[in-house]
Structure 1
Amino acid sequence: MASEELINARHAATAGLIACASAFVYLLARGYQARRTFYRLRQQGMPMPPWNFVLGHLLAVPPIMKTLPEDTQQPDAFEALCRANEKRDADSIIYLDMWPFADPMMVICSPVLAVQACQEHDLPKPPILHAFFNPLAGGANLFTMNGPEWKRSRALFNSGFSASHILEQTSHIVDEAEVYAKILRQHARKGEIFSLDDVTCWYMMDVIGAVTLDSRLHSQQQFNPLASALRRQIRWHVLDNEWNLLIRWNPARPFVQWYNSYQMNSYIAQELDKRYAEWTEDEAATSSRSIIHLALAGYMAQQKDKPRPRMLDAAFRDWATVQIRLFLFAGHDSTSSTICYCFYLLQSHPEAMAKLRAENDVVFGTDITETAKMMREQPHLLNRLPYTTAVIKESLRLFPPASAMRGGQPGIYLQDDKGNRYPTEGTNMWILHSAVQRNPKYWPSAMEFIPERWLAEPGDPLYPVKGGWRPFEHGPRNCLGQTLAMHDVKITLVLTAREFDIKHAYDEWDRLHPTSKVKSVNGERAYQMQSGGAHPADGYPCRISLRKH
């Protein structure tokens, strides 16, 4: 018996050694392939930082990181690398060899090249995006899909985001905006520092919950299991710029993420079953174009010539749950950040705030207590706010909440204005929206907040360059929810900007949390840090007061 156990132990040890050796050989082969790719690119004279055959460009990152805050978003570091290493006779682009942390990358900071990658060629979303979105959405989703599957899903949800339908949602959005204003009043009475980003995230969770599930989550004022699980999942999400291996490989993370997913999936499944029961009882109750109803409409269309099942198909329920989770994440995360940056920039530019308030007075009258009622009864008035819209667009230019990524293809080259051609095969193209939208080659006074550039006529030096503004991307894969996002921010500003003075409290925050580390990017203390999408640093600490009229 002892000899048999010894033999088994030897077999197990041998199997373990073979597995380790196989993994080592695999990694060695992948590493050699990545380094060989960059050796060839360097031989062709492609723009890149100083390169090492053993370490690639890993040595190029630490000097850049020393000049930036530890928690800054990764695009800031890659933008700095691009600025430092782009060639004078080429457009804003570099190749980066970050293996084993990432596949070969093209970092694009040029609108000319961005247009080609996302519009002219319509290149696919790369597999690397699954690692980011799967913990949040739970599986293959509208953002990461490609080909016919993506086209079918996109067509299914299109009508839920038409301009006319979004305008019809104004009353639901105003309901949640009034709760948001009430909470801001409470903070004004307390007079203490609070996180505007945190409060605004819960607000937008309620907005997207109403639009997606056609029901109120009330997460701004009480516990909601769906909203809380999603917000908790974002906090536990590991990001690509996390270099601390203890955090990156935290053994508790898989269990916490599984529990959060279970909470979200259970809640959404109950909603799907409830809506399906309503559908089977009264088809007239299905006229809503919320995301959950559009998903069910697609399912029912597939069942048209079949006996109606008593319960939803499990495969459909799983698919619909993933798409709903994606809409809940994307719909609240980026919009909440944009609202914070609108307040930040308006506070820093009182002349712009005065213009915005004056425009709101003209359209909605000076009695701010009537504003919510007017928006409900006459939502079309929100389309008569060109300066307010310009403020939002300029805020999104300076602080876009995300970037874009596409997968390179054999035989596909990007070409700049000077005729330089850049091969895309074997790379992931990262279009850095923040870098594209602040590129001084294409934007006059690129780092300045100038809403008037969105009111300029063609021929004016301020007139935006084609393809240069990309917070919602362009082309077939543009953001489905962009009309809703703009509508959300507009309603929020109209309802709050004339009632409150919101001032950041970074000076006080830094006195309470002293550090010798770098705490600004491009001179901005409210730099963007990664938390799902890009959010203002330290949660945007602020104080708020009721405005004196």
Structure 2
Amino acid sequence: MAILPSFPIVLAAVCSLAVGYFLIKLCKARASFYYNKVKKGYPMPPWNPILGHLLVLNKAFKKYNLTRDMHMDDIFGAISKEFVESDSLFYVDLWPFLNPMVLISSPKYAQQAELVQDRPSDLLWSMHPVTGGPSVFATNGTEWKDTRSLLLPGFKPNYIFNQIIYSIDGAEALDMAFRIIAKGQNLVQLDRFFLEYMMKLADGQHCNAGNLLSQERFEAFTKALRSNMDWHYLGDSISSIVRRTPIIQLINSYNTRIMNRYLSDVMDERYLEWRAGKVSSLSYSNKSTLDLILADYMSKHKDKVPEVLDTAFKNWAIPQLRIMFFVGHDSGTATLSYTFYLLSKNPLALEKMRAEHDEVFGSDVTAVSYLLRTQPNLLNKLTYTTAVIREVLRLFPPASGFRHGKSGAHLIDENTGNHYSVENVNIWILHSALHRNPRYWKDPSEFKPERFLAGPNDPLYPVKGAWRPFEHGPRDCIGQALAMTTLRVTLVMLVRSFDVKPAYEEWDYLHGISLESAPKYEGERAYQAGQSGAHPAEGMPCRISLRQ
């Protein structure tokens, strides 16, 4: 009778094979990077043939006194200052956690990179907790082009103005909430407070599910989305290995089931209304992103409309809706928080914005809602308010740009003639470092909205391609017009009624943090933190009061 090997022996054999496979992959990855990048003398931190650049980040934390929850863009941005000769361009090898990258923070390289259409395959994994599958954000080729073309009509300016009601309703709800907070004199984390508002706003713009399913289910959906982000995008003190542990994967799967079941039911309910003719009669501008998706589905099945939506279609549509929810609330939340923060620190700018609102909408703040509903084009007159938002996005961009380098392609330094290969590497456009690059911005760390009102001969005038919070080129953000409209509506309905004051010193005192030990980056307590979209540290603790 044959004697079967014991479990420990089998386990040891499997582990040995796994380790051997990993070592082979490691050797191949390091050898490829050495021959294609290191040997050619490309700019990069000191490289180790075994560890690559895995120790570089830890050294950067010590060298630049970085905080452990700091957003990754600023970590690499600090390192980029060491590469002045290559105009802040440098390579890093962080395999197996990330594929090799070239990081850039100058407009001349960014303008070359923006022409590349493909996004890195890494994004499919990194965005999976948010999307649950391939989305318009991370797919490439025909799949990306077809999806973008389908969704794009929902983000055109005329369409957005006709849907402005959702932004107005949301701002009115915020006004009421602000008054309650002001009355109670409570300390509030402004960024986290805005999250709920922006999620409800995203629902109205993209699904309008609030009219289809219960509020309890919507809250469960938003809670699951935030949970996935909190667990997956842990701070840098928690390694990428921990993010792949079974417990976090189980949490991800549990939250994904909640989100997918919710959106699946929303789609079913809305599809029934479509089949009953309740939606097709609506004007085009009153249809949500989900309606655009369903309209396309029905046009492809007009000969025989199915009784129910097929599974394959749902599996494609749900990631598109999930990414819309994410981008619809994540970046807008942070930008609103930083806008109130910077206005509180720059009272003259706040005074100018309020004066502009008085000029465009009149001094009666109670009339703003009606004026916006009947004359949404008034928003186009808010030139200074728009400049403020653009300056906030310059100083605190919510994300960065990503591309995947093509075979045989190079980034070219026009001044030196140097060519930098992007073959087999991902291109990371560091918006935060680019937006504060002193080579391209006058007074880069100062809040000066006037730079976006200046003429071409003014030293403040932005260099072409240097401002890119929404990116440029074929992979630019399709929701940028919607985002700017939402921000302007919210500000015009709130900024004249309330004073918002940062309360970091009070927050630190309540949490036992001394003034000397409070974490900062380049003197900024409200530094950008997080590992998905960048958000203010500690959620931006503030005091809200009625304007005196």
Q: Secondary structure at the match of 1:241?
A: coil
Q: Secondary structure at the match of 1:422?
A: strand
Conservation of the 8 A alpha-carbon contact between 1:505 and 1:543: yes
The correspondence for 1:30, drawn from 25, 29, 40, is 25
Aligned twin of 2:535? 535
State how 1:58-77 maps to structure 2 within 5 Å. 58-66=54-62, 67-77=65-75
Aligned twin of 1:450? 448
Distance 1:531 1:48, change over 3 A: closer
Conservation of the 8 A alpha-carbon contact between 2:400 and 2:469: yes
State how 1:6-155 maps to structure 2 within 5 Å. 7-10=3-6, 15-40=10-35, 41-66=37-62, 67-84=65-82, 86-88=83-85, 90-119=86-115, 122-155=116-149
Aligned twin of 1:437? 435
Q: Secondary structure at the match of 1:53?
A: coil
Residues of 2 paired with 1:413 and 1:235: CA distance?
Answer: 37
State how 1:144-183 maps to structure 2 within 5 Å. 144-183=138-177
Residues of 1 paired with 2:171 and 2:531: CA distance?
Answer: 23
Q: Secondary structure at the match of 1:9?
A: coil
Determine if the alignment matches structure 1 residue 235 to structure 2 residue 233.
no
Determine if the alignment matches structure 1 residue 295 to structure 2 residue 301.
no
Residues of 1 paired with 2:438 and 2:179: CA distance?
Answer: 40
Residue-pair matches, total: 538
The correspondence for 2:260, drawn from 259, 265, 268, is 265
Conservation of the 8 A alpha-carbon contact between 2:102 and 2:425: yes
Residues of 2 paired with 1:517 and 1:78: CA distance?
Answer: 23
Amino acid at match of 2:259: M
TM-score by length of 1: 0.94
Distance 1:309 1:128, change over 3 A: same
Deviation, structure 1 residue 443: 0.7
Q: Percent identity?
A: 44
Determine if the alignment matches structure 1 residue 376 to structure 2 residue 373.
yes
Residues of 1 paired with 2:455 and 2:302: CA distance?
Answer: 51
Conservation of the 8 A alpha-carbon contact between 2:97 and 2:240: no
Q: Secondary structure at the match of 2:281?
A: helix
Residues of 1 paired with 2:380 and 2:215: CA distance?
Answer: 27
The correspondence for 2:495, drawn from 474, 494, 497, is 497
Aligned twin of 1:208? 202
Amino acid at match of 1:537: A
Conservation of the 8 A alpha-carbon contact between 1:472 and 1:482: yes
Deviation, structure 1 residue 490: 0.5
Deviation, structure 1 residue 304: 2.3
The correspondence for 2:320, drawn from 315, 320, 323, is 323
Deviation, structure 1 residue 219: 11
Aligned twin of 1:387? 384
Distance 1:244 1:144, change over 3 A: closer
Conservation of the 8 A alpha-carbon contact between 1:472 and 1:479: yes
Amino acid at match of 1:483: A
Amino acid at match of 1:59: L
Q: Secondary structure at the match of 2:369?
A: helix
Deviation, structure 1 residue 26: 2.5
> Could you say what the CA RMSD is over the residues aligned between the two structures, in angstroms?
2.1
State how 1:179-194 maps to structure 2 within 5 Å. 179-194=173-188
Deviation, structure 1 residue 28: 1.7
Structure 1 runs not aligned, ≥5 long: none
Q: Deviations over 1:116-174 (max 9, x none)?
A: 1112xx24111111121111111000001100011110010111000001011112210
Residues of 1 paired with 2:459 and 2:32: CA distance?
Answer: 41
Q: Secondary structure at the match of 1:58?
A: coil
Q: Secondary structure at the match of 2:465?
A: coil
Residues of 1 paired with 2:243 and 2:226: CA distance?
Answer: 19
Residues 56-65 or 413-422, more deviating: 56-65
Residues of 2 paired with 1:87 and 1:379: CA distance?
Answer: 46
Amino acid at match of 2:151: F
Deviation, structure 1 residue 519: 0.9
Conservation of the 8 A alpha-carbon contact between 1:337 and 1:401: yes
Q: Secondary structure at the match of 1:236?
A: helix
TM-score by length of 2: 0.94
Distance 1:189 1:518, change over 3 A: closer
Conservation of the 8 A alpha-carbon contact between 1:107 and 1:430: yes
Residues of 1 paired with 2:340 and 2:396: CA distance?
Answer: 12
Q: Deviations over 1:332-361 (max 9, x none)?
A: 100110000101111111110000000000
Residues of 2 paired with 1:354 and 1:33: CA distance?
Answer: 60
Conservation of the 8 A alpha-carbon contact between 2:182 and 2:544: yes
Residues of 1 paired with 2:347 and 2:355: CA distance?
Answer: 12
Conservation of the 8 A alpha-carbon contact between 1:68 and 1:518: no
Amino acid at match of 1:266: R
Residues 59-68 or 162-171, more deviating: 59-68
Structure 2 runs not aligned, ≥5 long: none
Distance 1:527 1:214, change over 3 A: same
Conservation of the 8 A alpha-carbon contact between 2:68 and 2:235: no
Amino acid at match of 2:274: W
Deviation, structure 1 residue 94: 0.6
Residues 212-221 or 22-31, more deviating: 212-221
Q: Deviations over 1:60-87 (max 9, x none)?
A: 2222113111100011111111112x14
Q: Deviations over 1:298-326 (max 9, x none)?
A: 11121123x21111111112211111011
Deviation, structure 1 residue 215: 4.2
Distance 1:212 1:275, change over 3 A: same
Conservation of the 8 A alpha-carbon contact between 1:411 and 1:423: yes
The correspondence for 2:358, drawn from 357, 361, 364, is 361
Distance 1:52 1:114, change over 3 A: same
Residues of 2 paired with 1:499 and 1:247: CA distance?
Answer: 45
Deviation, structure 1 residue 38: 3.5
Distance 1:349 1:57, change over 3 A: same
Residues 94-103 or 421-430, more deviating: 94-103
Amino acid at match of 2:400: S
Aligned twin of 2:269? 274
Q: Secondary structure at the match of 1:544?
A: strand
Distance 1:319 1:286, change over 3 A: farther
Deviation, structure 1 residue 538: 0.2
Residues of 2 paired with 1:168 and 1:531: CA distance?
Answer: 34
Determine if the alignment matches structure 1 residue 413 to structure 2 residue 407.
no
Residues of 2 paired with 1:242 and 1:128: CA distance?
Answer: 21
Conservation of the 8 A alpha-carbon contact between 1:124 and 1:407: yes
Residues of 1 paired with 2:90 and 2:523: CA distance?
Answer: 24
Conservation of the 8 A alpha-carbon contact between 2:182 and 2:546: yes
Deviation, structure 1 residue 237: 2.0
Aligned twin of 2:465? 467
